[in-house]
Structure 1
Amino acid sequence: MRLLLLLAASQALQPRRHTRPRTRLQVAVLPDAPHSIEIPIGDGAPLILETGRIGRQADAAVVAKRGGTTVYATLCVGDADAGGGDFLPMSIDYQERYSATGRTSGAYNKRDGRASDGEILTCRLIDRPLRPSVVDGFCGDVQVLAWVLSYDGIHEAQTLAVQACSAALQLSSVPTLTSVGCARCTLSDDTLTTSPSVTEAASSTFDIIVGAGSDGSVLMVEAEGSFAPEAQALAALNEAVDEAQRIGHAIGAWASALKKDVSDGLRPYPSELESIVEDAYGDAIREQTKALRQGDMASSRKAYGDLCQKVDGLSLEKDYTRADSSRVLKKLSSRAMCALVRSEGLRSDGRDLTTVRPIDIDMAPLPTAHGSVVFTRGETQSLATCTLGDQSMQLRVDDALEPNTEKRFYLQYAFPPSSVGETGRTGAPGRREVGHGALAEKALRYALPDAKTFPYSMRVESLITESCGSSSMASVCGGCLALLDAGVPLTTSVAGVAMGVLLDDVDDPVVLTDILGIEDALGGMDFKVAGSRDGISAFQLDVKELGLKAATLEKALAQAREARLHVLDEMASRGVDEPQALSDSVPKTKTLQVEPAKIGKIIGKGGETIRGLIADYCLANVDVDDEGAVMISGNDPEQMEACAAKIVELTSEATGGGGRKQRAAYDGPMPEVGSVYASEVVSIKTFGAFVSFGEAFPGLEGLCHISELAPDRVRNIEKFISVGDAFDVKVLAIDEDSGKLKLSRKAALADKVRDSR
């Protein structure tokens, strides 16, 4: 008691502290519900866009949903002067999260890694329609991020990502000319389907994705198909454009009431400087557009570089920036090129509007390559090679949304800086190289023979050694010839050509065949079209400005067909039109079929038997799939035949793998369905383990599939179990015709846990 009194007295002597009540921290309260819109999409699930509850510190954030697929997109604006006004510094990043399908990354740290080729292609798909929709002169640093958060395997994520990013752009402070919509359309059995499911798109004969503005401008096209006639491709294009325009209009109407104030990062066009440069260098600019008539590409680039320096110097004298100089020079050069074509009907290199540049073909320049060609069109040149291999050479892809896929044909494209006479970075392929390679691959893959007819994997490489426009289409032509030179029996030859357009007069656009680099840079579009004599296998559209209509693309497709037929004629007369004999260096192949239940006898414990076969018979490889198809590849036919005989011996009824005598076909009593029995592992293969039942049923074996081995996923079966391991299995089913057993260790474990409770 005395201690308490002393404490009270000491507190009374201390000065009293300030007791003003604290102010509550001001935190923005989440709204009860996000701002949302539901846009009908055909007969399927609607497109739902939401904003306001997630990502509120971003300039704009949108959650887009369709069915069980969800994409989250954000847009942020950084430095207002990042681009200087002569270009838009916008970056797009798209990622498919492994968690979207209930998986983790296959890497050791289980973290989603660098962008795959598929993700890079989707980044380009988003960037291409959004970029021309931004007001010219906006120079703010723009970053757009998109993540696939959930994926139901029914509603695809690509077009949903474009729609989500378009909505974020409309909600942001970035000034735009139009709102962008995106739609997909497929063709199967002459039936058009808008917004198809993933399965419908995979089984279609023609697939097209279109980005269009609410004003009807076509901004992006990505299409592929099994040589669809132009009329069918146009029908699908028009259907997709109408749908994309409708969606874009709905996005714009929804965002208009929520859009933020427009950023001040807009730099007006320097009209006064244009007049100054026109007076000083107008004649030189007009002459520069004819430079390719007098010299080669290198001298033309040097002359243009000198002109740029003069215009830059004049701009700086007048207190303008180099960015202003660049904008003015590009505008005047574009205007001069359009005027030249309309007045003379001739282009920078002296061609008329429809003539294809001269073509030169040098077949088999590389003596040790399986197939090779140098394809030259004007000053664009591709050194294409083809390498053949067995199934082990297939490209294996484990993307987040498409796990464990294999490609027996793939095309890889390289664009070194030396191809345009410059120095620069080399190394891993950039986004442009990935995109160009994917386009050329799409164009060629519909002409490939099936695996039964030609059981090889095929890799085509296109090294661009010179470039002045349309190097991806040169890769299509060179790749086709390299495949034929390697001996691949293509169903048809394939060629490609790039088309351009001058939109100085929107009501009367001029379509250009086989465009030059300068026509790509200064024109209104880059429209790449590839196919055979029968139809189109791939086309892709990039635009630089609004105003391109579907009717113009119809004219471009007709013009492209005439050019494509000309190129195919040149390829047939100057190169080859039939597959050549296989090179001696190409591994020969022999295939045979064994019972799937006998695969383990070929592979052996830990792969010991199959490795021994490869070494003993000096083979390139022995590959076995889950269906029992065995491919033997090597360079010595006699050794391959001997290996085939050994495999037949290993899998025959008389003997088993490793020389173990195999029991005769089982004809005794069968176990009961639903009962649990002791078993022992007798062989292991990639998809499960074969077990025997010992004395209970002598001679009887059954398969316990890898999915039935454990409650959790078994990633590596050989590390999980070994031959000789014993465990209980439950009989789930017995096939009445074959007598095969369906067994489950997982079910037996579950029964044991339940019985112990």
Structure 2
Amino acid sequence: MFNIVKKEMEWGHDTLTLETGKIARQADGCVIATYGETSVMAAVTYAKQPKPGQDFFPLTVHYNEKYYAAGKVPGGFFKREARPTEKETLTSRLIDRPIRPLFVDGFKNEVLVICTVLSHDLENDPDIVAMIAASAALTISGAPFRGPIAGARVGFVDGEYVLNPSVDDMQGLKTNPEQRLDLVVAGTKDAVMMVESEAYELSETEMLGAVKFGHEQMQPVIDLIVNLAEDAAKEPFDFQAPDYSALLDRVSQIGEQKMRDAYGILDKQARTNAVSAAKEAIKAELSEEELEDPNLGTALKKLESKVLRGDVVKNKKRIDGRALDEVRAIDCEVGLLPRTHGSALFTRGETQGLIVTTLGTGDDEQIIDALHGNFRSNFLLHYNFPPYSVGETGRFGPPGRREIGHGKLAWRALQAVLPSATDFPYTIRLVSEITESNGSSSMATVCGASLAMMDAAVPLKAPVAGVAMGLVLEDDGDYAVLTDILGDEDHLGDMDFKVAGTEEGITSLQMDIKVAGITPQIMETALAQAKQGRQHILDEMSKALTQGRTEFSAHAPRIETMQIPTDKIREVIGSGGKVIREIVETSGAKVDIQDDGTIKIASANGEAIQKAYDMIHSIVAEPEEGKVYRGKVVKIVDFGAFVNFFGKRDGLVHVSQIENKRLNHPSDVLKEGQEVWVKLLGFDDRGKVRLAMKMVDQETGEEKSDEEKTGEEA
């Protein structure tokens, strides 16, 4: 009934298994990849005919996690998986980026890749397993895919690279000083296709070494996929790339000079309009048959690419006249918005980001419900890219995949320099509003966010800057690496290589390739050039702020922390939360109690914080023998007076300890409600508190000297 093909190998610390032929047999290709006890099923289907008039390649990748994979029931009201989580969206992009460039040029049939996590052992992250499964499914599907690819995760501990570190190792990256890198690299047998990483100030040499290590370690996986395909691959799809060389020659003959003139305009909007006008002028001279050719759009884009790429590689001339390693003009401004906790406007050429910092309390932390468990995040970064930033109309609504991906890239770049939660007990939320865009808005977000946090008095370890590098690679091997690429250089070039970091090292790196991979030499050149660009940007940023502010905004909350014994938490909360509600209502401060006894008290009003602190302290603290306290007489009896002197703690002042003379009755000198100074003498055999008034000056609260005590007795 089944024609099962199964291959396996030892890879790193676990066994990797690829299996096909049993499940989802109506898909063009389906492979279940298992690493340890983490299993992901990748199913591939593709249309056998393109849609009429289709002028782009419609590839869609979906990665989805099923809670049953980890033996969990989804949270929320409906108790079923709903819209994609951030992790699912990011992993979908992670798989899409290295496989997209490997489809044969001209293939415009719809392709759908669905990766489903079936089992998760809470040790091996499913994202690498899903990438391998997707590559294997495409390889055996018969689709015109020039793979296979493989992926690997690389850690860096004690100067040594680690293959596929565990989920816990990566989850605790910020709190684990030994682990300095979380890098995912994907590639073919000959070249690297994609890199995604967060790091703790690694040098360019260390980062390049990690990429090489990951590429070397994935080679046996590629061999395993090839081995599987030899036994299970379907017949290759009969696809012949369309020959539109005659149309391209005709378009070039008519419009090459028009396109060169258009790309000679420096202003982006004017250049965009001129390029559109050049295309219309070309179309006006074409025949009806040529206008109806479905490859016309491709031919026009090819002409654009030819004009741009030729000038860059042969003439070392860029669209805006810059040198290959030159960064656009930069302007930085902080403290723009009067009511926010921190703000910055970062402008680099025609790319601009308005970034705002908001400081919150523990109540503002994001609770993340993931397969490997629930956890909280106190650092949030949200990136918004409205249509007006590129002078267009269009979709405006919830964030798309691109916005989520760019926001996460900036988040990765900044997390390495954040203060620890114990030193800075705030939740930090950054919002990046991209107000203009002409290339590398994610790196503008990194730079602006660094300044905005410094403006909000967040004690960063060091400022962070980012720069996007580009590449134009010709068929003869000649190439040019571009610093701080424009939007057109990104669209028509071969690489988008984003590098962020401090003066000391790299904190994040992301690379996307549109050709069949790049060599280590090109990557080394790009990293070295990026370091120069990053340093230049940091110098420009320092003109706005050289270091973080020392004072918070008047509108930001202040947070004080205190530690109490865990067995006192119940007393602070009270029955049904009665005590904690009273503290909050009376003081006006927010109080957050954690399971380890850490209490965070937050308010923009310092007096409110102190009042809440004192109320909590009075509940959990123990009175000290020999110390003087201010108290209130709550009850008078024949043998003395009871005084409330420490929180809700009462003690007895015996009649003999009220004054240094004999009293007929305590009421001779005391009355209920009267405030007095008392000294704690100690505790009797039954634990009762013994207090004294006669040895304390009732006016000053100071304990009397031996001479004063002796004089009174005389």
Q: Which TM-score tier does this pair reach, normalised by the shorter chain?
A: 0.7 to 0.9
**1:82 aligns to 2:51 (yes or no):** yes
**1:62 aligns to 2:62 (yes or no):** no
What CA distance in whole angstroms lies between the structure 2 residues aligned with 1:414 and 1:648? Answer: 44
**1:455 aligns to 2:425 (yes or no):** yes
> Compared with structure 1, are the counterparts of its residues 83 and 286 closer, same or farther at alpha carbon in structure 2 (3 Å cutoff)?
farther
Which of 243, 246, 270 aligns to 2:244? It is 270
**1:353 aligns to 2:327 (yes or no):** no
Alignment of 1:510-549 (within 5 A): 510-549=480-519
For the 8 Å contact 1:481–1:576, the answer to whether it is kept is no
> Compared with structure 1, are the counterparts of its residues 427 and 265 closer, same or farther at alpha carbon in structure 2 (3 Å cutoff)?
farther
For the 8 Å contact 1:74–1:145, the answer to whether it is kept is yes
- Deviation, 1:258, is 2.4
> Compared with structure 1, are the counterparts of its residues 262 and 87 closer, same or farther at alpha carbon in structure 2 (3 Å cutoff)?
farther
Structure 1: which amino acid aligns with 2:217?
E
- Deviation, 1:408, is 1.0
**1:635 aligns to 2:604 (yes or no):** yes
Match of 1:415 in 2: 385
Match of 2:300 in 1: 329
Match of 2:87 in 1: 118
Match of 1:30 in 2: 2
- Deviation, 1:660, is 8.5
What CA distance in whole angstroms lies between the structure 2 residues aligned with 1:311 and 1:84? Answer: 19
Structure 2: which amino acid aligns with 1:466?
E
Match of 1:598 in 2: 568
Indicate the SS of the match to 1:341: helix
For the 8 Å contact 2:601–2:609, the answer to whether it is kept is yes
> Compared with structure 1, are the counterparts of its residues 72 and 30 closer, same or farther at alpha carbon in structure 2 (3 Å cutoff)?
same
- Deviation, 1:261, is 2.6
Indicate the SS of the match to 1:433: helix
- Deviation, 1:616, is 1.5
**1:440 aligns to 2:410 (yes or no):** yes
For the 8 Å contact 2:367–2:376, the answer to whether it is kept is yes
What CA distance in whole angstroms lies between the structure 2 residues aligned with 1:85 and 1:124? Answer: 22
Alignment of 1:144-293 (within 5 A): 144-202=113-171, 203=176, 204-214=179-189, 216-264=190-238, 267-292=241-266
What CA distance in whole angstroms lies between the structure 1 residues aligned with 2:214 and 2:121? Answer: 23
Unaligned runs of 5+ in 1: 1-28, 663-698, 700-757
For the 8 Å contact 2:91–2:127, the answer to whether it is kept is yes
- Deviation, 1:264, is 4.6
Which of 128, 135, 141 aligns to 2:104? It is 135
What CA distance in whole angstroms lies between the structure 2 residues aligned with 1:474 and 1:457? Answer: 22
What CA distance in whole angstroms lies between the structure 2 residues aligned with 1:140 and 1:266? Answer: 12
- Deviation, 1:323, is 4.5
> Compared with structure 1, are the counterparts of its residues 482 and 580 closer, same or farther at alpha carbon in structure 2 (3 Å cutoff)?
farther
Indicate the SS of the match to 1:515: coil
Structure 2: which amino acid aligns with 1:518?
D
Structure 1: which amino acid aligns with 2:321?
G
For the 8 Å contact 1:485–1:580, the answer to whether it is kept is no
Further displaced range: 342-351 or 419-428: 342-351
Which of 254, 267, 270 aligns to 1:299? It is 270
For the 8 Å contact 1:182–1:248, the answer to whether it is kept is no
For the 8 Å contact 2:473–2:494, the answer to whether it is kept is yes
Alignment root-mean-square deviation, CA: 2.3
Structure 2: which amino acid aligns with 1:484?
M
For the 8 Å contact 1:273–1:315, the answer to whether it is kept is no
Match of 1:732 in 2: none
Further displaced range: 169-178 or 575-584: 575-584
Which of 367, 378, 397 aligns to 1:396? It is 367
What CA distance in whole angstroms lies between the structure 2 residues aligned with 1:660 and 1:578? Answer: 43
For the 8 Å contact 2:5–2:231, the answer to whether it is kept is no
What CA distance in whole angstroms lies between the structure 2 residues aligned with 1:442 and 1:141? Answer: 33
Further displaced range: 482-491 or 175-184: 175-184
Match of 2:684 in 1: none
Render the CA deviation track for 1:11-42: whole Å, top value 9, x for unaligned: xxxxxxxxxxxxxxxxxx224xx201113313
Alignment of 1:521-600 (within 5 A): 521-600=491-570
- TM-score, normalised on structure 2? 0.84
What CA distance in whole angstroms lies between the structure 1 residues aligned with 2:293 and 2:323? Answer: 34
Indicate the SS of the match to 2:356: strand
For the 8 Å contact 2:357–2:456, the answer to whether it is kept is yes
**1:495 aligns to 2:465 (yes or no):** yes
> Compared with structure 1, are the counterparts of its residues 263 and 314 closer, same or farther at alpha carbon in structure 2 (3 Å cutoff)?
farther
- TM-score, normalised on structure 1? 0.80
Match of 1:714 in 2: none
What CA distance in whole angstroms lies between the structure 2 residues aligned with 1:650 and 1:265? Answer: 78
- Deviation, 1:483, is 0.2
What CA distance in whole angstroms lies between the structure 1 residues aligned with 2:471 and 2:224? Answer: 29
What CA distance in whole angstroms lies between the structure 1 residues aligned with 2:465 and 2:52? Answer: 38
What CA distance in whole angstroms lies between the structure 2 residues aligned with 1:307 and 1:90? Answer: 30
Indicate the SS of the match to 1:573: coil
For the 8 Å contact 2:247–2:290, the answer to whether it is kept is no
Render the CA deviation track for 1:257-276: whole Å, top value 9, x for unaligned: 42223335654141110011
- Deviation, 1:491, is 0.4
Match of 1:22 in 2: none
What CA distance in whole angstroms lies between the structure 2 residues aligned with 1:193 and 1:507? Answer: 33
What CA distance in whole angstroms lies between the structure 2 residues aligned with 1:561 and 1:487? Answer: 27
> Compared with structure 1, are the counterparts of its residues 635 and 197 closer, same or farther at alpha carbon in structure 2 (3 Å cutoff)?
closer
For the 8 Å contact 2:142–2:237, the answer to whether it is kept is yes
Identical-residue share of aligned pairs (%): 39
- Deviation, 1:653, is 5.1
- Deviation, 1:80, is 2.0
Structure 2: which amino acid aligns with 1:357?
R
Match of 1:737 in 2: none
**1:479 aligns to 2:454 (yes or no):** no
Structure 2: which amino acid aligns with 1:557?
L
> Compared with structure 1, are the counterparts of its residues 313 and 168 closer, same or farther at alpha carbon in structure 2 (3 Å cutoff)?
farther
Match of 1:707 in 2: none
For the 8 Å contact 1:140–1:265, the answer to whether it is kept is no
For the 8 Å contact 1:121–1:434, the answer to whether it is kept is yes
Indicate the SS of the match to 1:146: strand
For the 8 Å contact 1:414–1:463, the answer to whether it is kept is yes
What CA distance in whole angstroms lies between the structure 2 residues aligned with 1:438 and 1:412? Answer: 8
Match of 1:715 in 2: none
Indicate the SS of the match to 2:218: helix
Alignment of 1:731-746 (within 5 A): none
**1:406 aligns to 2:380 (yes or no):** no
Unaligned runs of 5+ in 2: 624-642, 651-686, 688-714
Q: Aligned residue pairs: how many?
A: 627
> Compared with structure 1, are the counterparts of its residues 111 and 244 closer, same or farther at alpha carbon in structure 2 (3 Å cutoff)?
same
> Compared with structure 1, are the counterparts of its residues 83 and 218 closer, same or farther at alpha carbon in structure 2 (3 Å cutoff)?
farther
What CA distance in whole angstroms lies between the structure 1 residues aligned with 2:561 and 2:71? Answer: 37
Match of 2:626 in 1: none
What CA distance in whole angstroms lies between the structure 2 residues aligned with 1:340 and 1:282? Answer: 13
- Deviation, 1:57, is 0.8
Match of 1:618 in 2: 588
- Deviation, 1:211, is 0.8
- Deviation, 1:139, is 1.1
For the 8 Å contact 2:263–2:271, the answer to whether it is kept is no
For the 8 Å contact 2:381–2:411, the answer to whether it is kept is yes
> Compared with structure 1, are the counterparts of its residues 334 and 244 closer, same or farther at alpha carbon in structure 2 (3 Å cutoff)?
farther
What CA distance in whole angstroms lies between the structure 1 residues aligned with 2:271 and 2:52? Answer: 27
Indicate the SS of the match to 1:163: helix
Further displaced range: 483-492 or 100-109: 100-109
Indicate the SS of the match to 2:424: coil
**1:341 aligns to 2:312 (yes or no):** yes
What CA distance in whole angstroms lies between the structure 1 residues aligned with 2:576 and 2:181? Answer: 44
